[in-house]
């Protein structure tokens, strides 16, 4: 499907699942479920734990323009941080997720943010998400604390639930809208893909699309030039004819 822009997102935060003390089989998982809820509109509590990175994608529409979100879901465990850091490169947006029922995940936000600031491009839009807001009765981090942290660090903030889908859609879309606005304001040079934005063919006669066409055609042109060169240089009559035939085929 064609898109006007492609944004790369990355989901980061402590390894997310929560096991019910009553039965270990009742779990609420964090990041991966958030992604599944957004891309597939379903809640799947049983999902293999993420090793390295997993990918999801969905099309959204902003300002009547089709935008593709390519979302990278990362492993949360500390051991994999050095690997996770390599995924920041070229991300336009990040969802920094903590669990409102587990205080320690909130306490670790600063170190995640530091990683993100250090390894991502400076204009990356970061959305802070307090996940599992359906479990308000087990809340360990207040909404105000979340808001405060976001404000201090210049993040967008939202509380969401991967289980009930509350605010999931909004979180991803408002991040995209922020990025889109930055493009409109000229913050990004969209032809530089290291900002995590690719310009597609859909929606606009994008500069990059045109560039690609040119690139493609110049390749063809080179082939043609060579053939013509060969053709007129050759003293062999049969060869000339056949090369012309090739030329004809190429044009058709």
Partner 1 sequence: MHEADIHDLSDDADYAASQQQGSRSISRCGSDKRSEPSGAEVVFLKENVAIHPTQYASERIRGRLRLIKQGACLFMTWIPYKEIGSGGGAFGHSDARLSDKDRNLYSIRAVPVTDIRSIRRHNPTLGWQYVIVVLSSGLAFPPLYFYNGGVREFLATLKQHAVLVRSADDANLFLLNDFQDPLQRSLSSLELPRAVSVAPTSTSESSSSSSVSSERPEDGRSYSEYQKHGQKSNDPARDLSIQVLEKFSLVTKFARETTSHIFREIHSDNLNTNDRKNQAPIVSNSNNDVDNSGLESASTESFVAADPIEKPSCRKDISAVKKLPLQWGVLSLFIFDKMTLVWGKPRQSPLGTEEWVTFLDAEGRILDSKDLRKRIFYGGVEHQLRKEIWKILLGYHDYDSTYAEREYLSSMKKVEYKALKRQWKSISVAQAKKFTKFRERKALIDKDVVRTDRSITFYDGDDNPNVMLLRDVLLTYSFYNFDLGYCQGMSDLLSPILFVMEDESEAFWCFVALMERLGPNFNRDQSGMHSQLFALSMLLELLDKPLHNYFKQKDCLNYFFCFRWVLIQFKREFHYEQIMRMWEVVWTHYLSEHLHLYACVAILKKHRKKIMGEEMDFDTLLKFINDLSGHIDLDAILRDAEALCVCAGENGAALIPPGTPPSLPLESNLLYSQQDEL
| Minimum gap (Å) between residue 196 Cβ and partner 1 | 9
Binding test (CB under 8 A) with partner 1, winner from 11, 29, 92, 168: 29
β partners of residue 128: 96, 157
Residue 63 CB, nearest distance to partner 1 (Å)? 25
Least Å distance, CB 186 to partner 1, is 24
Contact predicate 109/46, CB 8 Å: no
DSSP 13: S
What is the number of H-type helices and E-type strands within the chain? 8, 9
Of 140 and 246, which has the nearer Cβ to partner 1? 246
Q: Which is nearer to partner 1, 156 or 197 (CB)?
A: 197
Q: Does 244 bind partner 1 (CB under 8 A)?
A: no
The CA distance from 140 to 125, in Å, is 26
Is 211 near partner 1 (CB under 8 A)? no
DSSP secondary structure string for all residues of 184-227? HTT-S-TT-GGGSEEE-SSSS--HHHHHHHHHHHHHHHHHHHHH
Q: E-assigned strands of the chain?
A: 5-12, 18-19, 27-28, 53-62, 65-74, 93-99, 125-131, 156-159, 197-199
Q: Choose the stretch contacting partner 1; rule: CB under 8 A; options: 60-68, 73-81, 117-125, 174-182.
A: 73-81
Least CB distance to partner 1 at residue 223 (A) = 4
Q: Which of 74, 101, 105, 167 touches partner 1 (CB under 8 A)?
A: 105
Residues 77-96 that bind partner 1 (CB under 8 A): 77-80, 82-83, 86-87, 89-90
Could you tell me whether strands 93-99 and 65-74 are parallel, antiparallel, or unpaired per DSSP bridges? Answer: unpaired
Nearest of 89, 3, 62 to residue 182 by alpha carbon? 62
Q: Note whether 147 binds partner 1 by CB under 8 A.
A: no
Is 77 in a helix, a strand, or coil?
coil
Is residue 218 close enough to count as binding partner 1 by CB under 8 A? Answer: yes
Is residue 232 close enough to count as binding partner 1 by CB under 8 A? no
Near partner 1 in 154-193, by CB under 8 A: 193
- Smallest Cα–Cα separation from 34: which of 23, 48, 25, 45? 45
Q: Which is nearer to partner 1, 47 or 58 (CB)?
A: 47
CA 99/CA 105 separation, integer angstroms: 6
Nearest distance in Å: CB 162, partner 1: 14
Q: Are 70 and 104 in contact (CB under 8 A)?
A: no
Site residues for partner 1 per CB under 8 A: 8, 14-15, 17-19, 23-25, 27, 29, 46-49, 51-55, 70, 75, 77-80, 82-83, 86-87, 89-90, 104-105, 108, 193, 215-216, 218-219, 222-223, 225-227, 230, 233, 236, 238-239, 241-243, 245-246, 249-250
């Amino acid at each position: 499907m064609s898109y006007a822009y492609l944004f790369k997102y990355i989901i980061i935060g402590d390894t997310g699942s929560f096991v019910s003390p009553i039965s270990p089989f009742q779990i609420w998982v964090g990041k991966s479920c958030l992604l599944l809820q957004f891309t597939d509109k379903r809640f799947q509590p049983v999902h293999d734990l993420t090793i390295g990175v997993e990918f999801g994608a969905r099309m959204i529409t902003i300002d009547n323009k089709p935008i593709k979100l390519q979302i990278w879901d990362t492993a949360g465990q500390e051991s994999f941080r050095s690997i996770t850091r390599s995924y920041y490169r070229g991300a336009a947006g990040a969802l920094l997720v903590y669990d409102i029922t587990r205080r320690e995940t909130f306490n670790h936000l600063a170190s995640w943010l530091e990683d993100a600031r250090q390894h991502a491009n400076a204009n990356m839009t970061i959305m802070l998400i307090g996940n599992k807001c359906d479990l308000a009765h087990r809340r360990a981090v207040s909404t105000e604390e979340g808001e405060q942290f976001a404000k201090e660090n210049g993040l967008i903030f939202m509380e969401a639930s991967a289980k009930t889908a509350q605010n999931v859609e909004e979180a991803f879309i408002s991040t995209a809208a922020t990025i889109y606005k930055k493009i409109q304001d000229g913050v990004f040079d969209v032809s530089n893909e290291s900002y995590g934005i690719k310009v597609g063919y859909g929606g606009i006669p994008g500069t990059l699309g045109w560039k690609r066409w040119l690139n493609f055609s110049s390749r063809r042109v080179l082939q043609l030039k060579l053939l013509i060169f060969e053709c007129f240089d050759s003293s062999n009559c049969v060869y000339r004819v056949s090369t012309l035939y090739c030329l004809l085929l190429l044009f058709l």
